């Protein structure tokens, strides 16, 4: 039976709708999944998307998997914000678009939690649109964590040659050392093994980066490695949980890229994101681990500067959809 992949369209004024439709246009010929879009019908009728929407036969319902006909142009659509005006604002942050994007995600979460979809792929949202509409979230990860009441989530990133799980996310660098608690490190380790399982890696080689230059160089350039990370790794080893490190941040990603490690635990946002975006700026996938369902997304923003100009590449959201399909298949193998 084909997996049902839900896709929330993100901020209507950004590139989310365009890249989603472009991805569907390319992917539907493969018939590897059943697409369910969470959006607004007004988006389908927007003038900037007419050349794309003309390709699809939209079904405003959920698919019946048992009797799914598999037509190449058939896309299921859940209108999650019917009040969106057909002339909604594009190319910049907007209060109404923030509310719409939030509703798309809320509906996607509901369907995922009720097992009506196999995974949720989220197109980019705009932090400023959320702020304008008084939505108290700065992005998908915190929103998904709170709305699902999940306790142990991690932001992770996938590329073909580098996979990383973050210990801390959008925090000032000055706050990172204090956040390297046993609890936060343990969550990252637990979700790294979950990441490996979803990727079908049975005996993963997981390593953790140091915080300081040369991983502290025995305390000469910082002591967090000696006082926090090494004791934590030693404690894991007593439980037969093997995590290697801490390794110097300037070499660990090179080693992972060349196959020494399957997954790197990064201690802060830019430590993990700089190598990921250098290697796969257009195709990296953001993954939220620790939710009660699979969630992936493209690793880029709303790109208002090119929205509605038919310039946006669907490469990253195609990669997010493909990864969600693979995760779904590996999850069912357990």
Question: For 120-160, how does the pLDDT look when each residue is reduced to its tens digit (9 = 90+)?
Answer: 999 999 999 999 999 999 889 999 999 999 999 999 999 99
- Predicted local distance difference test score (pLDDT) of residue 5: 96
* The pLDDT of residue 67 is above 90: no
* The pLDDT of residue 269 is above 80: yes
Same domain, 259 and 321: no
DSSP code of residue 326: H
Read off the pLDDT band of 32 (50, 70, 90).
confident
Cα of 323 vs its chain's centroid, Å: 10
pTM for this one? 0.93
Tokens at 60, concatenated: 């405003």
200-228 pLDDT, tens per residue? Answer: 999 999 999 999 999 988 899 999 999 99
Same domain, 111 and 211: no
Which strands, in side-by-side order, build the sheet including 163-166? 57-59, 74-79, 34-39, 4-8, 119-122, 294-298, 285-289, 154-158, 163-166, 263-266, 206-209, 244-247
- Predicted local distance difference test score (pLDDT) of residue 1: 80
Domain assignment of residue 286, yes or no: no
Tokens 């369907």 identify what position? 111
Tokens 């706050």 identify what position? 175
* The pLDDT of residue 61 is above 80: yes
Query: What integer is the mean pLDDT of 102-114?
Result: 97
Tokens at 17, concatenated: 């709708």
Three-class SS state of 101:
helix
Same domain, 324 and 260: no
Same domain, 50 and 131: yes
Same domain, 184 and 88: no
Same domain, 249 and 321: no
Range of the domain at 21: 1-150+291-334
Instruction: Give the ranges where the chain is alpha helix by DSSP (H).
Output: 16-27, 41-44, 50-53, 95-113, 127-132, 140-147, 176-179, 182-198, 224, 230-238, 249-257, 269-280, 315-333
**Residue of 247, 227, 313 whose CA lies nearest to 15:** 313
Split into its structural domains, the chain has a count of 2
**Residue of 56, 99, 9, 8 whose CA lies nearest to 307:** 9
Same domain, 88 and 1: yes
Same domain, 167 and 133: no
CB 150 within 8 A of CB 290: yes
φ, ψ (nearest 5 deg) of residue 158: -120, 130
């Amino acid at each position: 039976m084909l997996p049902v992949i839900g896709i929330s369209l993100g901020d209507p004024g950004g590139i989310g709708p365009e890249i989603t439709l472009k991805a569907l246009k390319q992917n539907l010929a493969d018939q590897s999944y059943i697409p369910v879009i969470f959006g607004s019908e007004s988006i389908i009728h927007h003038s900037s998307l007419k050349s794309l929407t003309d390709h699809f036969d939209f079904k405003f319902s959920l698919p019946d998997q048992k009797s799914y006909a598999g037509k190449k142009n058939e896309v299921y659509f859940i209108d999650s914000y019917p009040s969106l005006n057909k002339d909604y604002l594009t190319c910049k942050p907007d209060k109404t678009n923030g509310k719409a994007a939030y509703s798309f995600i809320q509906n996607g979460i509901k369907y995922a939690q009720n097992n009506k979809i196999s995974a949720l792929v989220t197109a980019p949202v705009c932090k400023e649109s959320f702020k304008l509409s008084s939505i108290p979230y700065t992005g998908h990860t915190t929103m998904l964590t709170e709305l699902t009441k999940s306790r142990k989530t991690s932001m992770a990133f996938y590329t073909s040659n580098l996979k990383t799980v973050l210990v801390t996310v959008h925090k000032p660098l000055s706050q990172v050392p204090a956040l390297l608690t046993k609890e936060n490190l343990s969550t990252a380790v637990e979700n790294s093994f979950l990441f490996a399982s979803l990727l079908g890696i049975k005996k993963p080689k997981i390593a953790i980066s140091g915080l300081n230059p040369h991983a502290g160089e025995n305390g000469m350039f910082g002591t967090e490695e000696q006082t926090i990370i090494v004791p934590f790794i030693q404690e894991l080893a007593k439980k037969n949980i093997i995590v290697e490190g801490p390794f110097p941040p300037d070499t660990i990603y090179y080693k992972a890229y060349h196959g020494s490690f399957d997954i790197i635990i990064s201690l802060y946002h830019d430590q993990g994101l700089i190598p990921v975006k250098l290697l796969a700026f257009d195709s990296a996938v953001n993954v939220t681990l620790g939710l009660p369902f699979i969630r992936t997304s493209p690793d880029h923003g709303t790109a208002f500067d090119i929205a509605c100009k038919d310039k946006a590449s669907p490469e990253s959201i195609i990669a997010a959809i493909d990864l969600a399909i693979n995760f779904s298949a590996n999850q069912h193998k357990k």
